[in-house]
Amino acid sequence: MSNLNDWFAKGMTKEEYILKMEVHQEHLLKVYNEFQLKNDDPPALQAIQLKGYKAVVLTADWCGDAMVNLPIFMRIADEALIETRYLIRDDNLELMDQYLTNGKARSIPIIVLFDKNGQEVGKWGPRAQEAQVLVDELKIRLPEKESPQYEEAFKHFAEEISEKFTKDEALWNDIKNDLIKTISNLK
C-alpha cells in the first residue's frame, strides 16, 4: 500500500480512536477539552483550508506523546479542515517503518499529511523540539536500564512526564506552534 489514500481508508475517525482508548483516554480528553487555539492562530490555518489536505496518524493508546500531541493536532485539524484518520502503530508496521525516527525507532505519534492524490506533502512527529528538551532533561536522571533501580525510576519518570504533558499549557503552545509551522510550510 503506497498510496496514502489507501491507508486513510483503513483508519479510524477521531471519535472512533478516542472511544477505543483504554490507557490514556482521560488524559487525552483533558488536554483536548482544555487546549484552545489563540486568536492569531486561525488565519494561518484558514489559509490552508482550501488545499484539501488529509492526514494519517500513526499512534497507540499507551503513548504519552500521543496523549498530549494528538488533542492539540485535533484542534488544529478541525480549524484547517484536515480530514484525519488514526492507525494503531503495531497493526500498521508496513507504514510505520517508512517513518522511523533516526532511521530505527518506531516513535509515535507520526502525522503524515497528504494531498487528494494520496501523495505525501509533509510529516510531523513524534514530538516538538521543546517537548524533546523536557523529556531529555527528565530522562537524564534515569539509571542505566540494567540497574535494579531502573524500573522504579522509569515509573516515576513516566508519572512526572504525564503530569507535565497534561497540565503544562506553555508546552501545549510550543507543540501547537510547531505543528502550525509544519502545516503552514507544506508544499
Instruction: Tell me the pLDDT tens digit for each residue of 79-137.
Output: 999 999 999 999 999 999 999 998 899 999 999 999 999 999 999 999 999 999 999 99
Residue 52 pLDDT greater than 70, yes or no? yes
Distance, in Å, from the CA atom of 123 to the CA atom of 187, rounded to the nearest integer, reads 11
Question: Which residue is associated with the grid cell 484518520?
Answer: 85
Domain ranges in the chain are 4-126+169-184
Q: Are 91 and 21 in contact (CB under 8 A)?
A: no
Residue 10, pLDDT score: 97
CB contact at 8 A, 107 and 89: no
Q: Are 171 and 131 in contact (CB under 8 A)?
A: yes
Name the amino acid, one letter, at 72.
I
Q: What is the pLDDT of residues 4-20, one digit of tens each?
A: 999 999 999 999 999 99
Report the CATH number of the 4-126+169-184 domain: 3.40.30.10
Contact status, residue 8 vs residue 85, Cβ threshold 8 Å? yes
Specify the residue for cell string 478516542. 18
Q: Note the pLDDT of residue 3.
A: 87
